[in-house]
């Protein structure tokens, strides 16, 4: 494991773990998360070795920081039959053991992302099923004051008279995550998606969601100027033609900007926005410093469900949730709407005065 993969973060300013390779990163994870418990450490080491053994058995030679989400999903699906793999000596796992194995992998990747050693977390929500999400309560969204600061930053970006291409591109990326609720990798270019469609009803962005399912997200009017301005800065017409197949967001040399690049752009914007707030706004500053593109997805959903009362099936469609129950979970994060319903529904009868 003395190597680094494509998702390792080599920026010393944001990689707080400050270790040279995956092996050292995993050792730091074990030291911090298992504490002084030899039993816990042995259990964690066994599950990490299980993942490495599965990689070897499936001829996946990259280090842990190179594994994709698709590969980790394959690993999770293989767990019930691990005992049939020639390279495994750990036996067939029961349901609880499978859950524990995935939990250790999730914890490890969450730690590596949280400390800045990795730029993405390919194990986020790994192995969760609809039943696992019955009690799901999303809490990673920006508080109202932080979101207001976020929108002020976008307003200022729109008002800049002579911005550079890099500035216009960052604003377009941030605007798209702010107002589409897209997952991080859904705005990364693959198989001609995402792509814009313009018709008489307005602008729509088409993305490939989980399971490579096509999803259509209407772009609100507030978002379109950022996309148009970026296209013009790239030397393209503001409105794409129906035959266009260029990446929505380009990196250097005209190639698409991948997940790590998109993540880095959003994080840079969040840090910049945080720096504009006064020291007295510590809660908003902290939220912006630790937020990620997925926080913007949660904020998008929270706005639809809690603040605007959008019907849950519509929210499910916009976010690409497998179950309407996931969309409903956003309502559980805020009692204000439920409080209004209850107050309106239960009142004492009016008595006439004599």
Question: For 16-43, how does the pLDDT look when each residue is reduced to its tens digit (9 = 90+)?
Answer: 888 989 999 999 999 888 866 677 888 8
Domain residue spans of the chain: 22-114, 144-338
Label residue 192 left, alpha or beta by phi (over 0 means left) and psi (-120 to 50 means alpha). Answer: left
CA 130-70-214 angle, to 5 degrees, is 70
CATH architecture of 144-338: Orthogonal Bundle (1.10)
Question: For 254-290, how does the pLDDT look when each residue is reduced to its tens digit (9 = 90+)?
Answer: 778 888 899 999 999 999 999 999 989 998 999 999 9
User: Contact at 8 Å (CB) between 261 and 119?
Assistant: no
Question: For 126-145, how does the pLDDT look when each residue is reduced to its tens digit (9 = 90+)?
Answer: 765 544 445 555 667 788 89
Q: What pLDDT, on the 0 to 100 scale, is given for residue 85?
A: 42
More confident residue, 106 or 33: 106
Q: What pLDDT, on the 0 to 100 scale, is given for residue 90?
A: 44
User: Contact at 8 Å (CB) between 99 and 76?
Assistant: no
- Percent of all residues in the chain with a pLDDT value above 90, rounded to a whole number: 40
Residue 334: pLDDT band (50, 70, 90) is low
Neighbours of 169 (CB within 10 A): 21
Question: For 78-95, how does the pLDDT look when each residue is reduced to its tens digit (9 = 90+)?
Answer: 886 443 343 343 455 666
DSSP string, 213-261: -EEEEEPPTTTHHHHHHHHHHTTS-SS--TT--S-SSB-GGGPBP-HHH
Closest CA to 210 of 72, 103, 70: 70
Average pLDDT over the chain, rounded to an integer: 84
The span from the CA of 257 to the CA of 247, in Å, is: 8
User: Contact at 8 Å (CB) between 263 and 292?
Assistant: yes
More confident residue, 65 or 95: 65
**Taking the alpha carbons of 150, 152, 158, 161 in that order, is the dihedral positive or negative?**
negative
Q: What pLDDT, on the 0 to 100 scale, is given for residue 172?
A: 97
Closest CA to 209 of 231, 188, 239, 240: 188
The span from the CA of 144 to the CA of 121, in Å, is: 26
Neighbours of 71 (CB within 10 A): 17
User: Contact at 8 Å (CB) between 203 and 218?
Assistant: yes
The span from the CA of 181 to the CA of 327, in Å, is: 12
Section 230-245 average pLDDT: 90
pTM exceeding the 0.75 threshold for the entire prediction: no
Q: What pLDDT, on the 0 to 100 scale, is given for residue 38?
A: 74
Residue 217: pLDDT band (50, 70, 90) is very high
More confident residue, 96 or 194: 194
């Amino acid at each position: 494991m003395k190597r680094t993969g494509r998702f390792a973060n080599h920026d010393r300013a944001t990689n707080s773990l400050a270790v040279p390779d995956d092996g050292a990163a995993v050792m730091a994870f074990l030291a911090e998360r298992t504490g002084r418990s030899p039993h816990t450490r042995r259990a964690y080491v066994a599950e990490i070795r299980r993942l490495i053994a599965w990689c070897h058995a499936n001829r996946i030679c990259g280090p842990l920081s190179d594994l994709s989400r698709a590969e980790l999903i394959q690993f999770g699906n293989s767990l019930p039959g691990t005992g049939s793999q020639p390279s495994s000596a750990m036996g067939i796992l029961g349901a609880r053991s499978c859950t524990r194995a995935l939990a250790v992998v999730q914890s490890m990747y969450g730690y590596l992302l949280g400390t800045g050693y990795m730029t993405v977390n390919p194990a986020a929500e790994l192995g969760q099923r609809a039943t696992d999400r019955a009690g799901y309560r999303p809490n990673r969204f920006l508080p109202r004051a932080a979101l207001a600061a976020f929108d002020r930053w976008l307003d200022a970006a729109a008002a800049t008279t002579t911005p550079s291409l890099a500035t216009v591109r960052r604003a377009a990326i941030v605007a798209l995550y702010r107002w589409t609720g897209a997952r991080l990798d859904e705005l990364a270019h693959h198989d001609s998606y995402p792509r814009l469609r313009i018709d008489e009803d307005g602008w729509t962005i088409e993305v490939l969601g989980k399971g490579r399912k096509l999803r259509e997200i209407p772009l609100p009017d507030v978002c379109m100027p950022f996309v148009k301005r970026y296209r013009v800065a790239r030397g393209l017409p503001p409105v794409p033609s129906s035959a266009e197949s260029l990446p929505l967001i380009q990196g250097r040399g005209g190639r698409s900007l991948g997940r790590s690049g998109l993540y880095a752009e959003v994080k840079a914007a969040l840090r910049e926005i945080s720096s504009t707030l006064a020291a007295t706004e510590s809660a908003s500053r902290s939220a912006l410093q630790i937020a990620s593109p997925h926080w913007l997805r949660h904020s998008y959903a929270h706005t639809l469900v809690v603040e605007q009362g959008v019907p849950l099936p519509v929210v499910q469609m916009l976010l690409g949730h497998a179950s309407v129950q996931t969309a409903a979970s956003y309502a559980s994060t805020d009692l204000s709407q439920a409080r209004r319903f209850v107050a309106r529904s239960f009142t004492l009868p009016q008595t006439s005065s004599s």
